[in-house]
Amino acid sequence: MNTVYGVTAIVLVCLTTLGVGAFGLRLSRTTSDFYVAGRTVTPYRNASAIGGEYLSAASFLGIAGLVYSSGLDMLWFPVGYTVGYVVLLVLVAAPLRRSGAYTLPDFAEARLESSRIRLLSSLLVVGIGWLYLLPQLQGAGLALRVVTGAPTWVGSLVVVLVVIANVAAGGMRSITLVQAMQYWLKLTAIAVPAFVLLTVWLGDGRPGPQLTAGTAVDWAQPLSGFGGQDHPVYATYSTLLALALGTMGLPHVLVRFYTNPDGRAARRTTLTVVALLGLFYLFPPVYGVLGRVYLPHLPDGLRADSIVLALPEAVVPGSLGEVLSAVLAGGAFAAFLSTASGLTMSVAGVLDQDLLRGRLGRLTGEDATVVQGFRLATVLAMVVPYAAARFVEPIGLATTVGLAFAVAGSTFCPLLVLGSWWRGLSTVGAAAGLVSGGVLAAGAVLITMLAGPISGWPGALLGQPAAWTIPIAFSVAVVVSLATPARIPRHTARTMVRLHTPEDLGLERSTRHR
């Protein structure tokens, strides 16, 4: 890749991000602005922002690399990512917005009337957020090293500084504008080169990927080996379950639904997100397939995740290929920035409320103090994972992201679904579900990472734990709740009415009483 082109693309992305964020700073003045953008974000802008933060480097680079290396089975990943929002739409989108909460721990405390549940939820939010931030920072360092040869800590530091500047300056107002812009930037960056490369391929008259021997046969055969694992049918369905149910447990996704004006807007937001994600995910598999045509064997020093950046120069050598690669590099860096911004926002909100200045209550004239605390929390939210990224060896983007989805699906999914729809959920039952799901999911993946590949059913169960950890978490929460009816929160009935009463109906009633 031409270094000048690549650096120019990355610098333009960073400057554009800072410029849009500075505009958002002019609009951020109150606590509500910093945490939930005043709850005035329109469904279509919010959907673009969700698409911007959700489509991380795992989507921009990772899916193409998975399709390239492991074949058709990997197409389940974009399906699972998108289905997760359908589940979110059906089960929790509107109740979350009607809860009136600022963060996920706010919702947990409001529903279960327990400060201990709030603290447990806060610890999980911070843990999942930092876990998800690690691959973003490590990936940014690797991307900049490919473009310029700079040390990996430089790329990580660039992301840290840009994200802190945007999030700390304008809070949710700033990052909403930034992430909405970055979705369309990423879509353009991945779609335009894809159309050019497809046109060249059709003009070349080259056949599709050859299915003659060895890995090529496995590559084209569905359910022949999910990422090289044993028991591929189980691995496929377990991964789908983790992606579908883990999405609703990702803190940086949930916080965006608190910014909608009402529950109806939250549902429209989710429908639009499904359409935007479906549009984006048309393109990464194209790079994986064309990579099999033009780069059947990766050059030394390149990993499968690099296929998106390496493909253009293999298809159209010369300046055009270098420009297309630079465009893709800029899009990949936008993915790091947007996802890191959303994660930082969710982690900083929890750190500020629960560690730096206590619970966020009704404030009168204290907005300046709140803003200062939030900005300090933003710095802390980024410094910790940045330090960890310096000293922890990269363990693979897909592995780390998969761990975050598995833990989120095994903890917050039962809490949100049961908390929104079942009046019998007790405080003890909710805590037992959170602890059992989190310990089992994190423990299973950590064993796999530390022990290396494990063959047979033990390896399949530990490597893809969602199929058994999520049902266990639900079962534990239900059984313990049934055994402890005295620990059901006193005001459960009133809370459930608030979660499921449309806002316009409530307004109509209040007007009638006047």
Where helices occur in 452-501 by DSSP H, the ranges are 456-463, 466-483, 492-500
Return the minimum-mean-pLDDT range out of 29-43, 167-181, 235-249.
Answer: 29-43
Mean pLDDT computed over every residue of the chain: 80
Give the confidence band of 362 by pLDDT, cuts at 50, 70, 90: very low
Amino acid identity of residue 149, one-letter, is G
- Between 112 and 58, name the one with better pLDDT: 112
**Is pLDDT at 71 greater than 90 in this prediction?**
no
Give the pLDDT confidence score for residue 511 in this predicted structure: 35
State CA 446 to chain mean position distance: 20
- For residue 248 the two structure tokens come to 């609703």
**Is pLDDT at 508 greater than 50 in this prediction?**
no
Angstrom distance (rounded) from CA 1 to CA 5: 8
Give the pLDDT confidence score for residue 492 in this predicted structure: 93
φ and ψ at 10, to 5 degrees? -65, -40
Give the pLDDT confidence score for residue 462 in this predicted structure: 87
**Is pLDDT at 32 greater than 80 in this prediction?**
no
Give the pLDDT confidence score for residue 510 in this predicted structure: 40
Residues 325 and 83 sit within 8 Å (Cβ to Cβ): no
Question: Does CATH number 1.20.1730.10 belong to domain 3-393?
Answer: yes
Query: Residue 393 carries which DSSP code?
Result: P
**Is pLDDT at 210 greater than 70 in this prediction?**
no
Give the pLDDT confidence score for residue 216 in this predicted structure: 45
**Is pLDDT at 262 greater than 90 in this prediction?**
no
**Is pLDDT at 117 greater than 90 in this prediction?**
yes
Give the pLDDT confidence score for residue 65 in this predicted structure: 85
Q: What is the pLDDT of residues 457-490, one digit of tens each?
A: 888 888 889 999 999 999 999 999 999 999 999 9
Give the pLDDT confidence score for residue 422 in this predicted structure: 94
**Is pLDDT at 504 greater than 70 in this prediction?**
no
Q: Sort 433 into a burial class: Cβ within 10 Å, 0-12 / 13-18 / 19+.
A: buried
Give the pLDDT confidence score for residue 165 in this predicted structure: 81
Q: How far is CA 147 from CA 6, 78, 87, 328, 403, in A?
A: 6, 27, 39, 11, 29
* Extents of the domains making up the chain: 3-393
Residue 338: how many CB atoms within 10 A of its CB?
30
Give the pLDDT confidence score for residue 395 in this predicted structure: 57
Give the confidence band of 214 by pLDDT, cuts at 50, 70, 90: very low
Return the minimum-mean-pLDDT range out of 81-85, 224-228, 420-424.
Answer: 224-228
Residues 490 and 442 sit within 8 Å (Cβ to Cβ): no
Helix (H) or strand (E) holding 266: helix 263-280
Q: What is the pLDDT of residues 418-465, one digit of tens each?
A: 999 999 999 999 999 999 999 999 888 778 767 766 778 888 888 889
Return the minimum-mean-pLDDT range out of 8-17, 164-173, 463-472.
Answer: 164-173
State CA 148 to chain mean position distance: 27
**Is pLDDT at 26 greater than 60 in this prediction?**
no
Q: Give DSSP secondary structure letters for 317-348.
A: TTHHHHHHHHHHHHHHHHHHHHHHHHHHHHHH
Q: How far is CA 73 from CA 212, 219, 236, 385, 456, in A?
A: 18, 8, 8, 32, 19
Query: Residue 156 carries which DSSP code?
Result: H
CA dihedral of 339, 345, 351, 352, whole degrees rounded to 10: 170
